[in-house]
Amino acid sequence: MAKAALYNVEGKRSGDADLRDDIFAVPINDDVLHQAIVRHMANQRGGTAAAKTRGDVRGGGRKPWRQKGTGRARVGSIRSPLWRGGGIVFGPRPRSYKQSMPRKMRRLALKSALSALAGEGGLIVIEELQLPAPRTKEAVKLLESLEAAGNILLVSEKEQPDLLLATRNIPGVNFKLADRLCVYDVLAADKVIMTSMAVSKIEEVLGDAQSP
C-alpha cells in the first residue's frame, strides 16, 4: 500500500498515512498526462484576439473616384486591404480554444499525477490545516515545520478563509479544494499538502470507477 508522511496539527511527524494503490500507485501514463496538460492550457486561452476587416473599419463608404478616365487604378473604397488604414484580410477572429477529454481519461490523468507525486515523496498528509491565528507568520511557521518550500499546493476538503488570508502573501503557495483538484495544479507543485479528509474525499471521488 502506498504511504505518505503524516503530520499532526502542530506540524510534527506522527507516522505514515495509508493511501489507496488504485489512486496513488497506478502506472504513470505519460501520454494521458500530456493530453490533460495541453487541454488545461488550451482552456485557459481567452480566444479574444480580433482584427478589423474592411467591413469593420471606419470610412470608405463612397467610391473615391470614378471607375474610368482618370488614369489611376480602379478602386471601390479607401478602406480596401491594399490601402493604408484599410481592413485586414485574414486577421484573427474571436474563437474558442476549448478542448474536451473523456471522463475516464481525466480520472486516469489525475491518478497518474497523484501517483507520480506520491512516488517522489512530494505528498504530505496533515491531520488538519489549522492555524492558531490567520496570520502570515503562523502559516510560514507551519510550512517550515513541514519542510515545504518552493511551489506549495494546499488541499482541503472545505473552504478555509483564515488559511487563505494567512497564505495569500506567501509566494508560490496555492489553495485548492479536494473536489476541484486538477492535473496541472498537482504537477506544478513541488509539495502538495493535503488534509486527511481531503485524501478521503479524493479517494471517494476517484475510487468509484475503474481506470481505462
Three cell numbers, residue 155:
488541499
Residues 83-119 pLDDT 10s? 999 999 999 999 999 999 999 999 999 999 999 999 9
pLDDT surpasses 70 at 53 = yes
| Closest residue by Cα to residue 76 from 88, 59, 91 | 59
Give pLDDT, residue 212: 36
Query: What pairs with residue 101 in β-bridges?
Result: none
Hey, is 151 helix, strand or coil? Answer: coil
Give pLDDT, residue 209: 47
For all residues of the chain together, what is the average pLDDT?
90
| Cα dihedral 182, 186, 189, 192 sign | positive
Residues 34-48 pLDDT 10s? 999 999 999 999 999
| Closest residue by Cα to residue 47 from 92, 96, 100 | 96
pTM (2 decimals)? 0.80
Q: How far apart are CA 190 and CA 186, in angstroms?
A: 8
Give pLDDT, residue 208: 58
What DSSP letter does each residue of 161-196 carry, written as one string?
HHHHHHHTTSTTEEEEEGGG--HHHHHH-SEEEEEH
- Separation of CA 3 from chain center: 26
All structural domains of the chain with their residue ranges: 2-31+102-206
pLDDT surpasses 80 at 211 = no
Fold of 2-31+102-206: Ribosomal Protein L4; Chain: A; (3.40.1370)
